[in-house]
């Protein structure tokens, strides 16, 4: 059950920011350019989830570890998510400050 990235790519992935405690979410780039998004690496080196599915065996991957050519970080961003959370939060704070001052 070897789900470890090749050493060169594992070293690269270990420099990416964690998406959760001890986990890093990445996109794998395979031979031919196919991309596998939302891959969770445990400890930055071992594939533990792909697209939300827990992986316990290389047979579950749908590709071969040897076909991985690159690993790219997936950085979560709240920009453009459509919630406007930042704007709403700032508006609420400013509104509260105005009420307190008045």
Tell me the average pLDDT across 73-84: 58
The verdict on residue 1 lying in a domain is no
The verdict on residue 102 lying in a domain is no
The verdict on residue 91 lying in a domain is no
DSSP string, 4-60: BPPHHHHHHHTTSPPSBTTEEEEEEEEGGG-EEEEEEEETTTEEEEETTEE--SGGG
Residue 84: pLDDT over 50:
no
Q: How many domains, in total, are found in the chain?
A: 1
The verdict on residue 45 lying in a domain is yes
Percent of the chain past pLDDT 70, that is, above it, reads 73
Verdict on whether the full-model pTM lies above 0.75: no
The verdict on residue 12 lying in a domain is yes
Domain hosting 47: range is 7-77
| Span 23-50, pLDDT tens digits | 899 999 999 999 999 999 998 899 999 9
């Amino acid at each position: 059950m070897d789900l470890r990235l090749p050493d060169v790519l594992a070293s690269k992935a270990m420099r990416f920011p964690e998406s959760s405690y001890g986990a890093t979410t990445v996109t794998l780039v395979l031979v031919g350019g196919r991309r596998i998004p939302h891959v969770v690496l445990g400890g930055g080196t071992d594939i533990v989830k792909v697209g939300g599915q827990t992986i316990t065996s290389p047979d579950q991957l749908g590709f071969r570890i040897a076909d991985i050519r690159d690993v790219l970080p997936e950085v979560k961003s709240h920009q453009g998510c459509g919630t406007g959370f930042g704007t709403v939060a700032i508006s609420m704070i400013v509104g509260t400050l105005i009420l307190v001052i008045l």
